[in-house]
Structure 1
Amino acid sequence: MEYRYLGRSGLKITEITYGNWLTHGSQVENDVATACVRAALDAGITTFDTADVYANGAAEEVLGAALTSERRESLEVFTKVYWPVGPKGPNDTGLSRKHIMEGINNSLRRLNMDYVDLYQAHRYDYETPLEETIHAFADVVRSGKALYIGVSEWNAKQLRAGQELAREAGFSLVSNQPQYSALWRVIESEVIPASVELGMSQVVWSPMAQGVLSGKYLPGAPLPAGSRATDEQGGKNTIAAFLDDDILTNVQKLRPIADELGLSMPQLAIAWVLQNPNVATALVGASRPEQVAENVKAAGVKIPVELMTAMDAALAPSVVNDPAKTQSPPTRVV
């Protein structure tokens, strides 16, 4: 496992991060979730990402319990705040001072930790003054409850405004967590150049495009039993946009490239995002420990330029690159 710096900070994180969205506390039993965390640790992963909203807090609890016997200083633990948790009252969502302060305290309680390494704004909040949000994050850092602050799915304009205020408040935003894959490339034209300018890295989620780049979904074929596409608890909705026969046909064109590199299709997808120097880490999840062991083999892979070009050509008709397609909601969801 290799490490990369997170933004211009001195924090080193593993270039594969274990994330527990859609799994811990919901899709898999706690003992399996713990086994997946153990497999991640055995594979050299020390960086873990979760969020308060995942399984309405249960994902943080499961992760905290799985890591309880580990030396805290040897881990990098990330969580997030924005979406409603609990009864979903009017102040249970967004990036107000109230929600951020209560959010960090509740996350630390569920994780059974004194601090997190990275606390992230899970989305941009259009209904709270940005100054209020940034000053609340500054107080979280000063209190020692989070060492670094990042954001998720902010556009370039929002990143610039947030970083300016953060520096005035005495800290820096170090990261952005966007969706990014060989199929979903909306951050390339604006967000990544802004991040380079601002000293921020990408912590990318869904490097396998919700599993489509794994190659297991075939054009014209039934959906694999037990796959994310058949999960009625949420996975089915997240993958639906990629389950187009033309997209699936183009994805299959990557198989010879993976074979040439001696990689599986999932490993190729993860390795692809890691070729971007602004990407600090790729988030991977798992429902079985053996998936973790396979995914980490993407670490350290160098894809030759000619094969990167071949991948681009194969997927070109299916790539989404409109920078307007960021995930920030236009209004707060209550």
Structure 2
Amino acid sequence: MEYVSAGASGLMVSRLVFGNALTHGDQIDDETARDCVHTALDLGITTFDTADVYADGRAEEVLGRILGGRLRSELVLCSKVGRSKRPDPNAGRLSRKHIFDSVHGSLRRLGTGYLDLYQAHRFDDRTPLEETLRAFADLVRGGEIRYVGVSEWSAAQLRAAAGPARDLGVPLVSNQPQYSILWRVIEAEVIPACDELGIGQLVWSPLAGGVLTGKYRPGGPLPPDSRAATRGGARSIGRWHYLGEDVLDVVGRLAPLAESAGLSLAQLALAWVLKNPSVTSAIVGASRPAQLRENLKALDTVLDDDLYARVNETADPVVRRDPALTEDPLGPAPARSGAPAAASAAR
């Protein structure tokens, strides 16, 4: 395992981060979850990412039980605040009230006294930015959190927050955006802004919800043990239109490129993401321990420029690049021009 600094901070995180969105408390049972986390620890993964909204808090509870008894100083625990499906008008905000309520709930469910990294889970334009940042600063001073990050903020939002956060003594150290061979909306604006501001990228969905493993075939049935076969997974993957036949056709043409390099398609996809010098870590989930062992091999691979160029050329027809597609939690899911959004979501 490799370990790198989160942005310009001194916080060292593992190059692969274990994330439990859609798995713990939802897709897999607790025994399998335990096997996956223990495998991650055995492989040297020290950094674990979750959120209060995952499985309505159950994901944090499961992770907390599994990690209980581990030496806390050897772990980097990350959670997020700012999304909610509850009808409470204060839920899902980045207000001082919700941030304090949320962090205390996360600490209780995770069974820990502090979080190493606390991230604003999407921007909240209904709350003054200064209120949000002061709440984070007070939590750092109170010892409940150590570092502050964000998730899926636009370049303009990051620039607006970076100076005040630094002045308050809580510089933003990380951004958690979606990024993969198929989804590159951060390249044009977000990455340049973060490079300038000293903010690292902890990217989620580097395998495009499992699509970049090659398990889904154009026109074929969904594998019964796949993420897309679950209700939450189908909603997540369908939202980004990864199961369209044009995308799956491109994925099929990427497979021989991976094989020519002696890699699985998943290893190629992870190595592609990690080749970007602005990417701190890639967040990977797992429904089986074997998936983590396979993913780890990507750390031994540095794609040569020729293969990297061929991957880009092959994927180009279906790559999403528009910076405006950075997710807005208060608006509709982004729709791809001409794509059958309803049909994709249904799958």
- Quote the residue 2:302 is aligned against: 302
- Quote the residue 2:237 is aligned against: 239
Counterpart of 1:293, as a letter, is R
Counterpart of 2:245, as a letter, is D
Counterpart of 2:100, as a letter, is M
Q: Unaligned 5+ residue runs, structure 2?
A: 333-347
Cα deviation code 1:82-111 (max 9, x no counterpart): 1127x5411122100000111111111110
Displacement of 1:331 after TM fit?
5.9
Q: Which stretch shows the higher mean deviation, 214-223 or 268-277?
A: 214-223
After TM superposition, list the pairs within 5 Å mapping 1:1-334 onto structure 2: 1-84=1-84, 87-232=86-231, 234-240=232-238, 241-330=241-330
Displacement of 1:222 after TM fit?
2.3
SS at match of 2:324: coil
Displacement of 1:31 after TM fit?
1.3
Percent identity of paired positions between Structure 1 and Structure 2: 54
Cα deviation code 1:142-193 (max 9, x no counterpart): 1111110000000000000111110121220001001100000000000000
Matched-pair contact (CA < 8 Å) for 1:125–1:331: no
* Alpha-carbon distance in structure 2 between the residues aligned to 1:74 and 1:63: 15
* Alpha-carbon distance in structure 2 between the residues aligned to 1:331 and 1:143: 34
Q: Which has the higher contact order (CA 8 A, sep 6+)?
A: 1
Matched-pair contact (CA < 8 Å) for 1:184–1:320: yes
SS at match of 2:325: coil
* Alpha-carbon distance in structure 1 between the residues aligned to 2:223 and 2:56: 28
Matched-pair contact (CA < 8 Å) for 2:49–2:77: yes
Q: Unaligned 5+ residue runs, structure 1?
A: none
SS at match of 1:309: helix
SS at match of 1:151: strand
Counterpart of 1:3, as a letter, is Y
Matched-pair contact (CA < 8 Å) for 1:126–1:331: no
* Alpha-carbon distance in structure 2 between the residues aligned to 1:300 and 1:12: 19
Query: How many aligned positions are there?
Result: 330
Displacement of 1:293 after TM fit?
1.4
Counterpart of 1:148, as a letter, is Y
Counterpart of 1:286, as a letter, is A
* Alpha-carbon distance in structure 2 between the residues aligned to 1:221 and 1:28: 23
Cα deviation code 1:64-99 (max 9, x no counterpart): 1111121111111100001127x5411122100000
Note the aligned Cα RMSD (angstroms): 1.3
* Alpha-carbon distance in structure 2 between the residues aligned to 1:218 and 1:288: 21
* Alpha-carbon distance in structure 1 between the residues aligned to 2:214 and 2:310: 17
* Alpha-carbon distance in structure 1 between the residues aligned to 2:141 and 2:278: 27
* Alpha-carbon distance in structure 2 between the residues aligned to 1:277 and 1:61: 34
Counterpart of 1:45, as a letter, is I
